[in-house]
Chains A and B, each alone.
Chain A
Amino acid sequence: MNTLTEGAELAPQTFSVTRADLVAYAAASGDHNPIHQDEQIAVAVGLPGVIAHGMFTMALVGNAVAAWTDGAEVLELGCKFTQPVVVPADGAAEVTVAGTVKSVSEGRATLALMVTCDGAKVLGAPKAVVGV
C-alpha cells in the first residue's frame, strides 16, 4: 500500500472510455439516458456529441483511489461535472486521474484530485476521503 502522507503526489492513472463502455455502463447502472448513446439526441439537446455518464467518470476516480490506497474504505467521494467527456464513435476518450494527499488526520486521508480529458479539466473539485 502507498503511504498516504500529507503532500504526497499520487501517480496519474489514465483510462480509455469508448462508446461500448458507455453501453455496458448503461446496462449495469440502469442509466439509459440516450445522450450517452445516441449522437443525434445528444446534439439535439445542445451537447457536443455523445458524452460519458458523469457517474462513469466518477467511477474511474473510484478506481484510481482504490489503486492508490490499496482498496481503503471510501468515506466520502464528490465532484462537480464541469465539462463533458465527449466520447467519439471510433476510438476512445482518455481520462486521466491525478491527485495529491491534502491532509491526513484522525484516521482520514483527504485526496485532492484533478481529472482531465485531452488536457482539459472535466471535473470540478473532485475529492475523496478514505479511512487510513
Chain B
Amino acid sequence: MPIDSTLVGKSFPATTPYQVTAEAVAGFAGAVGAATGDDAPVPPTFPIVVTFAAMLDFLDTEQIELSRIVHGDQKFHYERAVRIGDVLTATMSVTGLRQIGGNDIIATASEITDADGVLVCTTSATLVHRGGAA
C-alpha cells in the first residue's frame, strides 16, 4: 500500500528527551567495537539512537511495519560532538516521497537539539519501505 503523499513537509512532534548516559555510550561503543573509556569520544553514529526513536514514532503513527523498512541512506552533520550528560530531542520531518518498483522511498530530515534547544546535529535519512514481497 503506497504511503500517503500528503506526509511530505509534515513535521512530527519532538521525541521524548533522551539523556545521554555514560552507560548508554559505553554500551553503544562496545557494541560497535569503538573505543570506550572516560576520554573516548561518543561514537559519531550514536545520535541514531535519538533519531531512531523519532522514526519509530513515525512508523507507529503511519502504521508501517518496521520489518518492511530498510535504511537507504544516512547523513550526519554535526554542530558539535555529543557529550555525556546531554539531553537530546529529535524532531523529524518528511522531506520527500516517491515510489519505485513497489517500494516507498521516504526521505526524512531530523534536527537534534540539546536541553537548551541548541542544535547539536542535523541528520537526513532515506527509509525504504519494502512493499513488494509478500
Contacts and interface: CB of A to CB of B under 8 A. Distances in A.
Contacts, number: 113
Contacts of A132: none
SS class, residues of chain B in contact with chain A? mixed
Contacts of A31: 48, 52
Contacts of B68: 45
Nearest to B102: A46
B32 A60 contact: yes
Contact of B35 (A71, A74, A77, A78): A71
Interface in A16-40: 21, 24-25, 27-35
A59 B73 contact: no
Contact of A33 (B33, B40, B48, B66): B66
Interface residues of A, number: 42
Given A63-B34, A81-B71, A28 B44 contact: no
B45 A35 contact: no
In the A-B complex, list the 7 residue pairs whose CB atoms are closest, starting with the nearest. A46-B133, A78-B75, A59-B32, A28-B31, A54-B71, A80-B73, A74-B44
Interface of A: 15, 21, 24-25, 27-35, 41, 44-47, 51, 53-56, 58-60, 62-63, 65-66, 71, 73-81, 84, 124
